[in-house]
Structure 1
């Protein structure tokens, strides 16, 4: 069982959502005594509308961008360090290259245990890009990605919702939920959709509850939900009980309904004001 988080990576782009992600990372660090890594990636292609080949004809000295990013990260470190009350520290790094690839390399090199990523509040395009980024980060690194909006800062993981999408016990999510639940004194809600043939799917609910109870003594409840789309039904249930965290797998079962949502792989985190953790590998 995963006993703790030791390193949390916050991708920084110097926008408002950095504040939400960093504040949530500090909350976790103070509870779990882990380190926070604030990482900014300066893009190789400073002209995003050009092809890589065309960009070579427009030489650009990114040294100033690297220096500016380093200075701004230092300011963030000084501002947020005073909010740390545990044993963790804040580390800062500026990288250069493709954002997804560089973050994945950094995460593997320094053994990150979780990403914490802020989601845009209003901008539609940014919200779509952020959701795709979450899916890609989870797929590239197999590291949990916690997505949080400003509204998620009031959440303290007292109620954790764990939806089930098939007949397999989700061991990775269970271990992480049990670990977080132990630190935050949470209640875990294991939920599943009622099957079309009206079979309640009790075996998988019972098995999942048994595994959780073998790992921790925190309260666990199992609930069968009525609905056709797991993402929408889970969101509605989570809002109804004022949940603080939803934990999902990076699978199509957690895409929002509709063809466009399927094509763009919009996970339920896109419509969630509640923090959402996305994991890639489910059964390790």
Structure 2
């Protein structure tokens, strides 16, 4: 599943090709995604300009505004001037930029045709992704039902050990499950959760409420460093994920623990163990993480 680094890498790859371009046509081939694509999407998007692309957690947020060059004689904008296209890649989704797109395949669900002939194509074999339009202004966007319960961003200056320590007091849930829930901090998915806990020396089964402030300080640093390194390496390509230009990430090649069950720890040589938490595989070193 694409996690925060993969979504951020996708966002950065789209910026030079998509921002500032006008949407001249929209083709929706399959509306049955995680939530049905609304019938009015084509009409809502056609003629708009993509002004910005932001990210919130694992959601890509495309700000789409009317092209003032095509408004009335006075250049006045429509009443619904600002709108956002929320895109979630689900488990197998990708957003690709094509200067000269190939014929659409069975899993190519949506095309945004931009001026200059650029095509932004959403592909999702398992259809757990989402394409949602919302007319909310930026000030109200954080209150969208899909965004309002998300935790703090890991690169937000407010995110530190004290933040996690305060929000986990009295909690008996395992620290890995607490991180994956996305209410304390967003974007620390399965791969990067295992890697961050290893770097911080914390066993993933440790109750969140029993971890000290000092250890949470180490974990906050580990989370930021792990995610930053993953972004720099293009994320992780395990199955379906590719960048907006079709290239792959390679963070997974140097993971300390993820997907390395039975292999020697890169630090101490102890065999890496694998357990299941919440129906997801967890990897850790029994010596380095205690």
Query: TM-score, normalised on structure 2?
Result: 0.28
Higher helix share: 1
Query: TM-score, normalised on structure 1?
Result: 0.28
The structure number with the bigger radius of gyration is 2
Q: Which has the higher contact order (CA 8 A, sep 6+)?
A: 1
